[in-house]
Structure 1
């Protein structure tokens, strides 16, 4: 890498790490926030849901907008909104103000993530340099998600939950200070029109789908609101396909959606993100409900998972260079599946903590190798003018996977426990959900190995 490329990489990785932290930093602080601002127990989950809805629902739209108006411009606008909304969230004095700040944070995330990833892929030529950059990006994003729980616990216990918002402000200011002179504008020479019907259909469909999944996780899969939202989401996404097939300037050309690398690469990525983030939820239940750990101790226990993902991100590009993208995807997911399945052996006392630490660390390495393979697969073989679209699809996959994981596996735990919150019942529910999680990972490995084609390497 040139000196300039290293600086570009640092700026973009710092921004992406901060965005990943925001997905999980408030998780352990929710009860404290609820008491401080007067949230009812039923409305507390909207602190997380409001962010996730916007971050997942608007990603594809803003990724395409960045292609049209300029990726650097959108990146800078998004970082400014993120800094301002984080300051507003830290100063919030009512539930309404806090939720408005979380909505703005989610929208900023939907702007910055695909724009930043597009700037990353267009700053490095396709090949080893891009693979290394994407590997580091994936490692820091996954580590950011697990680090968010640790950082949230530390800030809440030592200072205040408000610092979970304030910590973003100096980081956003530093990025905005450096990025304008360092990042080069990236957009096509000819500006196409925005496909408004397609944008409405895909954004509405994703919003309904994510809302339905989160509602189902809270109220059960038989809840009529959840079922209706899921049905609306599916119908809107089907309508989106037909709109794109007839649009003069489609938001997502149907030809791209038919590419094996895009379809199966994104499906493998969806499974990788869904299973790893839901595993954090399952192990949180185990550590707190079965072993009786505090929120801070639980967050610290995930430090080994974060370390595993960093190692996997560093190794990912090397593994891909040696055995190829498809083989790396299969190997990474297979390693994650075996490590996850071993967690079904966990017992009801602290002697099993060593197994949890080793299995989550090894699974984190495998998961991150798979994620690096997914990012390279989903963004390779496309011209620079479509990189915003490709990275928008990949980012949407990541954020929908993060959002889907907890509701799906939470429903498995609830079905197994039957509402019993005792330690023994929770242990049984977690064990069943862990096996489902491992089965999903293994399915991803089988699909990637069967349907992805290995691209010829120079």
Structure 2
């Protein structure tokens, strides 16, 4: 009788290792992130140079705000439209065109011979940024598949986005003092000149293969509505909400956005799919993104006032405080993908919002005679949570979206970023000086800010809860 001898057990299969970035994908990520960093740098590098710039070009105090507003209007107003154009006609083509326009406009701003030329250059920079940001994000999300690779890519991109704002604040002051305000614009032109030659040979082309007709009525109403809204909020940051032009722009903006919703519900190929906006991940993900951007920008604004006017710190010392914030943001960018890998994007978003809210509340412990250490530690840790929210909300919104709609989804993400950065300071910053006593006003802003972020964390947690 023969006996069957059991075959030896198969050796255990090694645990799957997460996919690694190839050399080519690293270069693609470098190009896309460098462009995003350049745009983020543009948002802040000019701020500390504004007084010197105004004196040189003959821009008065009231007109000086247009150095910022001229960029913010097209940068925010055309994001959705350009995101859809990239879907239809090619994201790589749009990205390269935006990069070329941004570089040329930065060179024009560097050489500006008068206020008109400078403001026109700033508007063209904003238009270039409105093409670069959604096209770059779409290329990133379509190049790197959903999962660990995309998590890592978005983590690096989010880190450089946050770092760009901080580096801009530090570089702006140093370069203006040593080389003059024109050097800040020249730096942006140099960035574009380095990135643009690398992009054509590396970036793949992608578009919606069906190429439906462009929704012109939707494009006109949403672009006009966003332009009016951003103008109103940017102007209100300087002059308050009582001006006739601010109120008129708010009304026009709301009416145009309502008209946009009506147009989209009837158009056969809408610019924004209303069923997409009804997706819980997109609705609540963008809500989390809007709040984390707007509330963190308000915190940075009022802490800048507090450190310099209440505690008497110099601009350089204040920059060092935010330099610590930037360094920890880099650390957060390396940790966030690992946290998302364990918790998932949705839970990470909720936890990050909660952490940002709690640490903002901790800033209420600052005093009139001391508070530098508490302000440095709390705002830096809050910024780490803020960066976690940025990365996880981007993943939440873009996860599960087909490639032919990635431009639209990332357009919503970047529009949320721009609107959040625009509304935070005018909505809360005015509270800091409303009562005449800065310290009390700063504490009021911090209390409201913390309450809004914590309430949003609860709303997002409820909205993103999976149904059985």
Q: Give the TM interval when normalised to the shorter protein.
A: over 0.9
On the 8 A contact 1:343/1:355 being kept in 2, the answer is yes
Which stretch has the larger CA shift, 110-119 or 143-152? 143-152
Match of 2:461 among 430, 449, 456: 449
CA deviation after TM superposition for structure 1 residue 291, in Å: 2.1
Q: Normalising by structure 1, report the TM-score.
A: 0.95
Please name the residue that 1:393 is paired with.
412
Hey, what's the Cα distance between the residues in 1 that align with 2:167 and 2:109?
Answer: 20
Please name the residue that 2:200 is paired with.
180
Match of 1:382 among 379, 389, 401: 401
Hey, what's the Cα distance between the residues in 1 that align with 2:160 and 2:190?
Answer: 19
What's the C-alpha RMSD, in Å, of the aligned pairs? Answer: 1.4
- Give deviations 1:362-385, integer Å, cap 9, x for gaps: 101111111111000111111101
Paired residues for 1:129-148 under 5 Å: 129-148=149-168
Answer yes or no: is 1:353 the counterpart of 2:372. Answer: yes
Hey, what's the Cα distance between the residues in 2 that align with 1:293 and 1:159?
Answer: 24
Q: Which structure has the greater CA radius of gyration?
A: 2
Paired residues for 1:258-273 under 5 Å: 258-273=278-293
Match of 2:339 among 308, 316, 319: 319
Answer yes or no: is 1:207 the counterpart of 2:234. Answer: no
CA deviation after TM superposition for structure 1 residue 222, in Å: 2.9
CA deviation after TM superposition for structure 1 residue 292, in Å: 2.4
Please name the residue that 1:410 is paired with.
429
Match of 2:39 among 7, 15, 19: 19
Match of 1:2 among 22, 30, 38: 22
Match of 1:433 among 445, 448, 453: 445
CA deviation after TM superposition for structure 1 residue 190, in Å: 2.2
Hey, what's the Cα distance between the residues in 2 that align with 1:269 and 1:431?
Answer: 24
Question: For 1:42, what is the secondary structure of its paired residue?
Answer: helix
Hey, what's the Cα distance between the residues in 2 that align with 1:348 and 1:91?
Answer: 44
CA deviation after TM superposition for structure 1 residue 50, in Å: 1.1
- Give deviations 1:371-428, integer Å, cap 9, x for gaps: 111000111111101000000010000011011111111222232x2xx3xxxx1111
Answer yes or no: is 1:48 the counterpart of 2:61. Answer: no
Q: Normalising by structure 2, report the TM-score.
A: 0.93
Hey, what's the Cα distance between the residues in 2 that align with 1:90 and 1:170?
Answer: 11
Question: For 1:28, what is the secondary structure of its paired residue?
Answer: helix
The alignment of Structure 1 onto Structure 2 pairs a total of residues equal to 448
Please name the residue that 1:290 is paired with.
310
CA deviation after TM superposition for structure 1 residue 300, in Å: 2.6
On the 8 A contact 1:86/1:168 being kept in 2, the answer is yes
Paired residues for 1:36-435 under 5 Å: 36-349=56-369, 351-415=370-434, 417=435, 420=436, 425-435=437-447
- Give deviations 1:316-360, integer Å, cap 9, x for gaps: 1111111122211111111111111111221223x3111111011
On the 8 A contact 1:261/1:453 being kept in 2, the answer is no
Hey, what's the Cα distance between the residues in 2 that align with 1:443 and 1:36?
Answer: 46
Structure 2: unaligned runs, 5 residues or longer: 1-20
CA deviation after TM superposition for structure 1 residue 287, in Å: 1.7
Hey, what's the Cα distance between the residues in 1 that align with 2:455 and 2:191?
Answer: 39
User: Once superposed, which parts of structure 1, at least 4 consecutive aligned residues long, lie more than 3 Å away?
Assistant: 453-456
Question: For 1:252, what is the secondary structure of its paired residue?
Answer: coil
Hey, what's the Cα distance between the residues in 2 that align with 1:113 and 1:375?
Answer: 13
- Give deviations 1:15-63, integer Å, cap 9, x for gaps: 1011001111111111111111111111111111111111111111111
CA deviation after TM superposition for structure 1 residue 454, in Å: 4.8
CA deviation after TM superposition for structure 1 residue 455, in Å: 9.8
Question: For 2:42, what is the secondary structure of its paired residue?
Answer: helix
On the 8 A contact 1:324/1:454 being kept in 2, the answer is no
Hey, what's the Cα distance between the residues in 1 that align with 2:165 and 2:204?
Answer: 28
Hey, what's the Cα distance between the residues in 2 that align with 1:220 and 1:377?
Answer: 35
Hey, what's the Cα distance between the residues in 1 that align with 2:398 and 2:215?
Answer: 22
Structure 1: unaligned runs, 5 residues or longer: none
On the 8 A contact 1:136/1:314 being kept in 2, the answer is yes
